[in-house]
Every structure is written in C-alpha cells, then in structure tokens.
Amino acid sequence: MVFVRLFLLSTLLLLLTAGNLTAKSLTSVPYKQALETAVSENKQIYLYFHSPQCPWCRTMENKTHGDGKVAAYLEENFISVSINMDTNPALARKYRVSGVPANIFLSPQGETLFSRPGHVPPQTFIRILEILHTGKHDK
C-alpha cells in the first residue's frame, strides 16, 4: 500500500513539473513598437485579439500559446502583440475584429496577410506559422 501511494505521488509530481517546464506563454510587445520593430527586423507581426471574459481565449492562451513549439516559433520568427479588445476597440475596428479570439498576421510593412477567427489548436497553428514564415506549403 505504501508503495502504491509513493508511486502515485511521484507520478503526480512528475506530471506537474513536466507541465511547468514545457509551458510557455505569448511574448508580447506594444502595437506601435511591433510596427517599428517589424520593419527593422523584417519580421511578420502576429496580432492576438482577446477579452478577459472569453473562455475560448483562455483555451487559446493555455493550449496553443502555451505549447512550447508554438511559443518558440512565434518568438523566433514573429513579433507578437496581445490586444485586449475591450480596452482597445479602435484596433479591433481597424482590423475588423468582431469576436474573440482573433488571430491576424501582418507583413513587416503592416499589411494584413492572413486572419483566422476563433481558437486554433496547436498543430494547426504551428502549420499556419510555418506557411506564413516560409511561404511554402505541402499540397
């Protein structure tokens, strides 16, 4: 019985620490800074529109942005901007965002390249990032 308890406790501890080691979050900069940096670094911009009361936004943040591969790819190849739609309605109007979560990708010059409303699972999101970054996709 002691062995079973020790095993379960060890397994639980391992799972909890492993999740913390791999989980990352979206590294975000202010919108105006992103526009300036994108030109100087020749990087595309990822605009993530969200709202505090949106459950799908929490899912996007925890599951997709929290995925280690997604977070690393975004940080290395894009400039990310996290925008609260409630406190920044002007930007939401500018990019025609009517619901959250919303994912919009801009060229380094600020032109809209692609937009995808709603929660996007990590596997799909990383594929979108790869296609936008490299310009290549498999048929």
Whole-angstrom Cα Rg for the chain: 18
pLDDT at residue 27, as a whole number: 86
Q: Which residues of the chain have pLDDT under 70?
A: 1-24, 137-139
- Of all residues in the chain, the percent with pLDDT exceeding 90 is 77
Of 62, 65, 67, whose CA–CA distance to 27 is shortest?
65
Q: What is the CATH number of domain 28-134?
A: 3.40.30.10
Torsion (CA) 90, 95, 100, 101 in degrees, nearest 10: -120
pLDDT at residue 136, as a whole number: 76
pLDDT at residue 138, as a whole number: 55
* Other Cβ atoms within 10 Å of 101 Cβ, number: 24
Domain ranges of the chain: 28-134
